[in-house]
Amino acid sequence: MRIEKSLVVKSTPAAVWAFLSDPHRVARMLPGAAIQEQIDPQTYAGTMTVKVGPISTSYRGQMRFERLDAAAGVAELVASGQDVRGKGGAEVRMTSHVVERAPGETEVTFVSDLNVSGILAQMGRGMIEQVGDQMFQIFADAARVELEGDAARSGVTPNAPGATGAPGAPDAPRAPGVAAASAAEPIQMVSFGAKLMVGAMGRAVRRPIFWVVAVAVVVMLVWLIRR
Amino acid sequence: MIPAEFDYHAPSTLSDAIALLSGLGEDAKILSGGQSLLPLLKLRLGQVGHLVDLSHVPGLEYIKEEEGFLKIGGATRESMLERTPLIASKYPILLDTARVIADPIVRNRATVGGNLAHGDPANDHPATMLALGAAVVSHGPKGERTIPIAQFFTGIFSTALAHDEILTEIRIPIPPARSGGAYVKLERKVGDFATAGVAVYVALGQNGTVEQAGIGLTNVGPMPVKAAEAERYLVGKKPDAAVIAETARLAAKATAPTADRRGAVDYKREMARVLTMRALKSALERAGGK
Amino acid sequence: MATHQIRVTVNGNVLEAEVESRLLLVHLIRENLRLTGTHIGCDTTHCGACTVLLDGEPVKSCTVLAVQADGREVMTVEGLEKDGKLDPVQEGFMQEHGLQCGFCTPGMLMTSYALLKRNANPTEVDIREAISGNLCRCTGYVNIVKSIQYAAAQPR
Amino acid sequence: MALKTTPEVSGMGHSMKRKEDPRFIRGQGRYVDDVVLPGMVYMDIVRSPYAYAKIKAIHTEKALKVPGVLAVITGETLKGFNLHWMPTLMSDTQMVLPVDTVMYQAQEVAAVIATSRYAAADGVDAVEVDYEPMKPVMDPFKALEPGATVLRTDKEGKKDNHIWHWEAGDRADTDKAFKEAAVVVKQDIYIPRIHVASIETCGCVADFDRTNTHLTVYMTTQAPHAIRTVFALVAGHVGLSEEKIRIISPDIGGGFGGKVPVYPGYVIAVAASVVLGKPVKWIEDRMENLQADSFARDYHMTAELGATRDGTMTALRIKTIADHGYTDAAANPSKYPAGLFSICTGSYDIKHAFTEMDAAYTNKPPGGVAYRCSFRVTEAVHAIERMVDVLAQELKMDPAELRFKNFIPPEKFPYHSVLGWEYDSGNYPAALHKAMDMIGYADLRKEQAEKRARGELMGIGISSFTEIVGAGPSKDFDILGIKMFDSCEIRIHPTGKAIARFGTKSQGQGHETTYAQIVAEELGIPASAVQVEEGDTDTAPYGLGTYASRSTPVAGAAGAMAARKIREKAKKIAAHLLEVSEEDLVWEVGKFSVKGAPQKFKTIQDIAFAAYTNHPQGMEAGLEAVSYYDPPNLTFPFGSYICVVDIDRGTGAVKIRRFVAVDDCGNIINPMIVDGQIHGGLSMGMAPSLFEEISYDENGNNTAGSFMDYLMPGSMETPNWETGKTVTPSPHHPLGAKGVGESATVGAPPAIVNAVVDALAHLGVRHI
């Protein structure tokens, strides 16, 4: 499935680019992640543990930059991982775009194509998407702290111009819930993409008739009422 | 489906239970009714080193009115809520809620405290407790504390409880005269999680205006949803058809559902609206305001 | 591997066993005690084939640990017939064709038995609600409802 | 039908209480998981989380260190015995365990054998598999597009995902009829993939005795004899010989078609038992059952119906894409890759019809088995019964009126359908009239009109289906070459009691009772004194098994024929005892008496005793017979169902208010059991209409892989079914009976869908 996110930080495009193209720095913003080795200039291996309440999943895998175009501000990476207990895996292809919105204000847009396989995708009942949102929120907040420095930490811009996370998501990097380790812990990560391995997924399913009816009726009634 | 190995502990006092949890650390998990936790362990979606069973800790199963509150012990079974006359007569919203959780056999094991402490946005009690303005009492190594329900849920499957804190009681303010609440759940079949669920509580003044309002929603966001804007809107108004409709619209606005087999995002939002209307009407009726 | 010495009364007989922490009650019943009337149908508390009574209340024994039954009373389908006399729910299922393949039947019987203990004169809705956590793939429930009504009508 | 026998004898037509119930209500049934053998070990299976992936490595070291784990079996292990692939019933091939590629999520990847269930599960967790995921092909339409990833690279020269093309009828003639039709309606109809989900999952205990090279397998199978032959054919080269294979199908906790196939798990368990020399038990859990076992349906149909302005149907055309998963492992008779789909002209006298189908490989589990339905008849009935309503809507005709206008008239039976079937008997108007009377059709239409005026949503749906069951005549029907006869062997004991053994296997249908009633009807021996046995290949006569509503039409007929053979011999003995010639004897239930001297008679019990103690010189002793019955035709049960639904305007929730089912299955053996079959069938007809669907996301994840999402209806979701009967006997069945186990599953879905569409029709909805 496709996920689009954006993040605006009070920082220069160059600083943001330097951050985004350094997996080790990005890693520190992502709870539960650890880079284990650099395989070649573009490829890194690592692990990532996502813990949601009593459910925990550890992935190991690789992240590879397929394109790093500083001039255009475009980075493209592919990350893939496999659940260490053989229960599934995920792959994400993510393109990020760094654009200056105003002097000292930079917007990063992320477009990801995510494929998740295994029990979490089967039984996550929409939860994966929400976990992804929360994780993005944590990442975004942590990235803002990293890039904006003390201003963010003091809470001046805690939630705005925030990431497009879900309403009700925790608004601080120390928010519990998603991750076992908090973002502040100076370890771990696989890649920017890896966190999205558990990010959203949509299901193009044909539902049993009841649900088709349900949706059809409601849509129709809404339409009739509005007409 | 067979769980991975763990060790089981059955402390006989609350302080032993807390001590065990503190001593064993994050690797220990509280076993209350077990109706959510054991399936997770059987699926091996989660793994724990230790389970600390609360069923041998006395005094955690009760339903009583005391000191201006309805007090429900943390380990009170859902089936006890269903069968307690006080609940049926005075707290029908709790009966509404208990009766649509899982199925009757599961409710013989499942506990009210577990339903809240599991932190699952698809569970039903959170919405009801949000509507009722309940508070959660917990015991941990640092003693007792009371957490307002609005601050209890902190993320998907996560709550304000520390890992070694035990939810021991739920406190619901005893409702004034001319008040009422209702919980309405849309489910695909018995035993299913809600497509959407809405709990509404209202208290009416002498002239029929709404003096207090609580609205909580189930499974339409990463956490149980408190429809604060809708609540604020409703308070001080005479609940006529237009007000009911607007309240429902605002409640639906507060949701952030994700698409799954239960329906698309728009459908779920619409269900939040429709069910809010229904729950609000029912709550008003029960409050005597028709 | 952590084990526990437990003492459980099953159908009136006191049994002692050493069990692993994670042993499920249904496996204690089926494998350790060889009472195979209790079945496993779904593992996720949806089907109710494993329903037994724990201190008189129906529970899904695939989602209860054996060690949790320590010091308590378990009743299974094998405990329904007393002194060669069938329980009225057993009679009812036979008379009203309340079973076909028989796989869900023990769980249905235990739920029905507990219902009638609590409510001697259930309405059809009471019955349908009570068995709503027990799935049957064969009968369409019509005759199961009749079977329980038959049992309720028996003099006690 | 007038009763011929007393309640004490309980022949046909008696609602005899079931003989199998005393053990089930005591928890004394014996299902596969109840079988425990000395030294038995347990098997659990490692399954693929990916729908399509290369297997780079399987690491078994950690698993082998788990206490209690004895062995890990992989595709490489089986390859050593050339057992890693097996044939399917449709002459395709299927992996037992993969060597290099997995083709669907939850496919078997390796098996762990351990001393306990718990250790086996731990072992499964400890097996590490390195996969290289590939993009799965999930959509059968995309699978058939040029350039699609070719999935079956194991098949030499295979360049696409097309499995087969099948057609029936005259294309040109039908095209012409459509050109001439005044009205043509067209509709895409998808029947989703579903799963029978019997409450008992599949499993087996395989017990190989090395000393005697003898294999006994206790297994959840609806067709034990055919399975024995399959095992002999698949594993003959490793020393399994058919006389040394014994398949025992004990009590079966529901089958519905899902226990016909040979699943890899069975074969792996057998292999494991051969390798280890110990009994091996394998019982799947519910998720494995829903995710890996054979599915049903998954037909994407485009149907067209042509008619005159006044509503006379003239032409039918249906084009179907069938999603078969990664291999065609459907359970159909060999000649019928699309089953009996060509029954799709249904209950209507349609003169021109053509239907074609293409089957595709996708990255889904294999199958194409029944879901309580005879070989794709549900799909066919759904198509025609939906199209009739679509046409009625187009013509603004009442759907009942349109049906009456087009029914095959009762006087036209036996009726030759344009797609080649000979319908044995039927009276369709009678069934629909009865259903309309029972439900109060005219009043409901009035109520509906009033409700529409108030903005309420209420719908009435009709389905007047024709089933085709009882496969089948040997000239056309075989499975793996074995003709689809069935069998019965009856032995009468000296004291006049009997044992009757059949080639079928009950999974809840009550054969122990109904077969006994057939013998009682034919011989007058009380059904209570007839012991019925099935399911043990060492003792029962060879038969093709129980599925597709074939037990009564085929094995039941064999029972009657075997009993009649016994009666022939009994007549000779009676003539000997009464000292009269055979021509002077008349048979009444349970005795031969002398014509004109009814006081002179010998009961079947007298005769049975004489068969062992005083039989005529020159005659062999004993009183027994075997019949292998080859039916001259299929049977065509039918019915008319009417469903009333109310739809919640706010939520769209559909509630079935009433459902009347009038069935005609010819002469009835046990009315109580028939009603039970109808109730169950209706529930399984409702389930996929409103609740159940196996669905996949684009990555091949099965999103209905447990009972959390595969929504099997419970007591609160299931309405109080109302049943009625008409009786139109089959002219060719010895008892005039037809199969009934699946009629309701076949007939109910269109009634429900038609009702839902009807509730919304005034808003412009034509199909859902």
* DSSP β-bridge partners for residue A55: A52
Query: What are D734-768's pLDDT values in tens digits?
Result: 999 999 999 999 999 999 999 999 999 998 899 88
Q: What pLDDT score does A185 carry?
A: 28
Greatest alpha-carbon span in chain B:
62
Question: Pairing state of beta strands D313-323 and D41-47?
Answer: unpaired
ipTM score assigned to the predicted complex? 0.93
In whole angstroms, give the CA distance from residue B175 to residue B204.
11
Nearest-by-Cβ selection for B188 from D117, D285, D711: D711
Nearest-by-Cβ selection for C128 from D26, D198, D716: D716
Find residues 7-26 of chain C whose CB sits inside 8 Å of chain B.
20-22, 24
The answer to whether the CB atoms of D122 and B5 lie below 8 A apart is: yes
Sheet holding D128-133, edge to edge: D101-102, D53-59, D128-133
Residue A158 CB partners (closer than 8 Å, separation 6+): A141, A152, A171, A172
- Chain D environment of B186 (Cβ under 8 Å): 651, 653
Mutate to test the interface with B, among C22, C42, C118 (most CBs of B within 10 A): C22
The answer to whether the CB atoms of A126 and B43 lie below 8 A apart is: no
Q: What pLDDT score does D687 carry?
A: 97
Q: State whether residue A98 sits within 8 Å of chain B by CB.
A: no
Q: State whether residue B281 sits within 8 Å of chain A by CB.
A: no
The answer to whether the CB atoms of B221 and A123 lie below 8 A apart is: no
**What count of other Cβ atoms lies within 10 Å of the Cβ of residue B1?**
20
Spatial CA neighbour of D424 closest among D65, D682, D738: D738
Task: Give the percent of chain D with pLDDT over 70.
Answer: 100
For A41, the 3-state DSSP assignment is coil
B94 against A50, higher pLDDT: B94
Compute the residue count for chain D: 768
- Chain C environment of B10 (Cβ under 8 Å): 67, 70
The answer to whether the CB atoms of C58 and B109 lie below 8 A apart is: no
A vs B, Cβ pairs < 8 A, gives 107
Q: Integer distance in angstroms from the first to the last C-alpha of chain D? A: 41
Buried-exposed string D63-96: b where 16+ CB fall within 10 A, e elsewhere: beebebbbbbbbbebbeeeebbbbbbbbebebbb
Shortest CA distance from D705: residue in chain A: A122
The answer to whether the CB atoms of C68 and B102 lie below 8 A apart is: no
The answer to whether the CB atoms of B34 and C65 lie below 8 A apart is: yes
Spatial CA neighbour of A221 closest among B196, B264, D650, D450: D650
**What count of other Cβ atoms lies within 10 Å of the Cβ of residue D404?**
16
Q: State whether residue B107 sits within 8 Å of chain A by CB.
A: no
Confidence of residue A34 (pLDDT cuts 50, 70, 90): confident
Task: Indicate whether A173 pLDDT > 80.
Answer: no
Query: What are D612-654's pLDDT values in tens digits?
Result: 999 999 999 999 999 999 999 999 999 999 999 999 999 999 9
Query: What are C27-86's pLDDT values in tens digits?
Result: 999 999 999 999 999 989 999 999 999 999 999 999 999 999 999 999 999 999 999 999
Find residues 732-761 of chain D whose CB sits inside 8 Å of chain A.
752-753, 756, 760
Where is B204: in which H helix or E strand? strand B196-204
Spatial CA neighbour of D352 closest among D316, D305, D306: D316
Shortest CA distance from B267: residue in chain A: A215
Average pLDDT over residues B175-185: 97
Q: What pLDDT score does A136 carry?
A: 79
- Chain C environment of B61 (Cβ under 8 Å): none
Which amino acid is it at A91? Answer: E
The Cα of B23 is separated from the nearest Cα of chain D by a number of Å equal to 27
The Cα of D126 is separated from the nearest Cα of chain C by a number of Å equal to 17
Q: What pLDDT score does A125 carry?
A: 52
Q: What pLDDT score does D370 carry?
A: 85
In whole angstroms, give the CA distance from residue B152 to residue C31.
42
Task: Indicate whether A27 pLDDT > 80.
Answer: no
- Cα four-point dihedral sign B98, B115, B69, B169: positive
Nearest-by-Cβ selection for A54 from B46, B223, B258: B46
Q: State whether residue B11 sits within 8 Å of chain A by CB.
A: no
The answer to whether the CB atoms of B190 and D717 lie below 8 A apart is: yes
Q: State whether residue C105 sits within 8 Å of chain D by CB.
A: yes
* Chain mean pLDDT for chain A: 67
Spatial CA neighbour of A166 closest among A196, A200, A195, A197: A200
Q: State whether residue B122 sits within 8 Å of chain D by CB.
A: no
Confidence of residue A63 (pLDDT cuts 50, 70, 90): confident
Q: State whether residue D24 sits within 8 Å of chain C by CB.
A: yes
In whole angstroms, give the CA distance from residue C40 to residue D359.
36
The residues of D annotated as belonging to the active site are 222, 372-373, 742
* pTM score, whole prediction: 0.94
Query: What are D419-463's pLDDT values in tens digits?
Result: 999 999 999 999 999 999 999 999 999 999 999 999 999 999 999
Q: State whether residue B241 sits within 8 Å of chain D by CB.
A: no
In this structure, what are the phi and psi dihedrals at residue C120, rounded to the nearest 5 degrees? -70, -25
- Chain D environment of B274 (Cβ under 8 Å): 650-651
- Cα four-point dihedral sign A10, A13, A19, A21: positive
The answer to whether the CB atoms of D18 and C77 lie below 8 A apart is: no
Q: What pLDDT score does A132 carry?
A: 75
Confidence of residue A126 (pLDDT cuts 50, 70, 90): low
In whole angstroms, give the CA distance from residue B247 to residue D722.
43
The answer to whether the CB atoms of C46 and D707 lie below 8 A apart is: yes
Average pLDDT over residues B143-171: 95
For C9, the 3-state DSSP assignment is strand
Q: Integer distance in angstroms from the first to the last C-alpha of chain C? A: 48
The answer to whether the CB atoms of D653 and A214 lie below 8 A apart is: yes
Q: What are the structure tokens assigned to C156, written together?
A: 């006690």
Shortest CA distance from D712: residue in chain A: A208
Average pLDDT over residues B98-123: 96
Residue D144 CB partners (closer than 8 Å, separation 6+): D160, D161, D162, D321, D358, D360
**Helices D428-439, D399-406: inter-axial angle, 10-degree rounding:** 160
Nearest-by-Cβ selection for D676 from C41, C127, C139: C139
Chains that touch A (3 or more CB pairs under 8 A): B, D
The answer to whether the CB atoms of D33 and C36 lie below 8 A apart is: yes
Confidence of residue A35 (pLDDT cuts 50, 70, 90): confident
Residue B126 CB partners (closer than 8 Å, separation 6+): B115, B116, B149, B152, B153, B216, B218, B224
Compute the residue count for chain A: 227
pLDDT under 50: residue ranges of chain D:
none
Q: Which residue has the tokens 């393109």?
A: A95
Task: Indicate whether B153 pLDDT > 90.
Answer: yes
Q: What pLDDT score does A139 carry?
A: 80
Taking the CA atoms of residue A8, residue A13, residue A16 and residue A20 in that order, the dihedral angle to the nearest 10 degrees is 110
Q: State whether residue D358 sits within 8 Å of chain C by CB.
A: no
Nearest-by-Cβ selection for A117 from D692, D699, D763: D699
**What count of other Cβ atoms lies within 10 Å of the Cβ of residue D6?**
14
Cis peptide before D414 (omega within 30 of 0): yes
Q: State whether residue C80 sits within 8 Å of chain D by CB.
A: yes
B vs C, Cβ pairs < 8 A, gives 88
Nearest-by-Cβ selection for A167 from B155, B221, B261: B221
